[in-house]
Amino acid sequence: MKLHAYWRSSASYRIRIALNLKGLDYEIIPVNLFEGEHRGADFAKINAFKSLPVLEYAGRQHVQSVAILDLLEQRFPEPSLFPKHPDERNRALEMAMPIATDLQPVNNLRIMNYLKDQFDVASKDVITWYQHWIHETYAPLETMLGQIDLKRGWAFGAPGIFEIMLVPQTYNALRFKTNMSQYPTLLNYYEHCLEDEAFQKASPEAQPDATDT
C-alpha cells in the first residue's frame, strides 16, 4: 500500500490512524499541500479531485477519506473500526460524521484560501471563521461524550471511527489556537487517544515530510 498524504492534512491523518489500528503496512508518498503540489497536472492523473489522501491498493487509486475507511473495513474487517453492537455503532457514527461532513468541509485549507484569495478576508477573520465552526460541532460533541461512561477507557470499547475523526480535527483546532477550555471531556479523551501507539505513529510530527513550520 502507498498513501499519498500531507503531514498536516486531517483527512490524511485519519487514514494513517486507521491503517495503524488495523496493523497494515504502508508507504507514505508525501504531497506538499501547502505549496499546492496537489493542484498540478501530474497529481490530477492520480486523483481527479486534486485532494488528499489517495491510497494505492490492489491496482488502483482510492480517494476520499470516508470511502477509503470503508474500503479498509471491507477488505480488512478485523480489528473493526466500528462497535459490534448496533446501538453503539450508531452512536459512534452520530459522533464521527458531524466532524467529517459538517465541520471539516468548511474548515479545510481549500476553503480558507478561497476566503482570503477571492473575498479578501483578513487572516484573523479566517481564523475566526475556523474557530466558529469548531465550536458549532464541539459543543454538542462535548455533551454526547459526557453521557458515555469512559471508565473502560475507550468510548466504544476500542478505538475506531469516532477517534479517527476526533483526533485530527482536535489537533488542528489546537494548532489554530481555538479556545478548547469549554470542552474538558473531549480534550481529556483526545489526550487519552494520543497515548495509544497507533495514534502516535500517525501523528503529523512523526511523518517523513514534517517540518518545523
* Residues 63, 115 share a domain: no
pLDDT at 213 over 80: no
* Residues 191, 90 share a domain: yes
Closest CA to 158 of 101, 202, 206, 196: 196
* Residues 162, 100 share a domain: yes
What is the pLDDT confidence band of residue 141, given thresholds at 50, 70 and 90? very high
Host domain of residue 55 = 2-79
Q: Specify the pLDDT at position 212.
A: 83
Q: Specify the pLDDT at position 121.
A: 98
Task: Find the distance separating the first CA and the last CA of the chain, reported in whole Å.
Answer: 28
Q: Specify the pLDDT at position 152.
A: 87
Q: What is the CA radius of gyration of the chain?
A: 17
pLDDT, tens digit (0-9, with 9 covering 90-100), for 58-110: 999 999 999 999 999 999 999 999 999 999 999 999 999 999 999 999 999 99
Check which CATH number belongs to the domain holding 172 and give it. 1.20.1050.10
* Residues 65, 128 share a domain: no
Check which CATH number belongs to the domain holding 52 and give it. 3.40.30.10
Question: pTM of the prediction?
Answer: 0.96
Would 207 be classed as within a structural domain?
no
Helix pair 10-21, 65-75: axis angle to 10 deg: 10
- Of 79, 108, 133, the position where a domain reaches its end is 79
- Of 79, 95, 117, the position where a domain reaches its end is 79
Would 104 be classed as within a structural domain?
yes
* Residues 132, 28 share a domain: no
What is the pLDDT confidence band of residue 114, given thresholds at 50, 70 and 90? very high
Closest CA to 143 of 175, 182, 104: 182
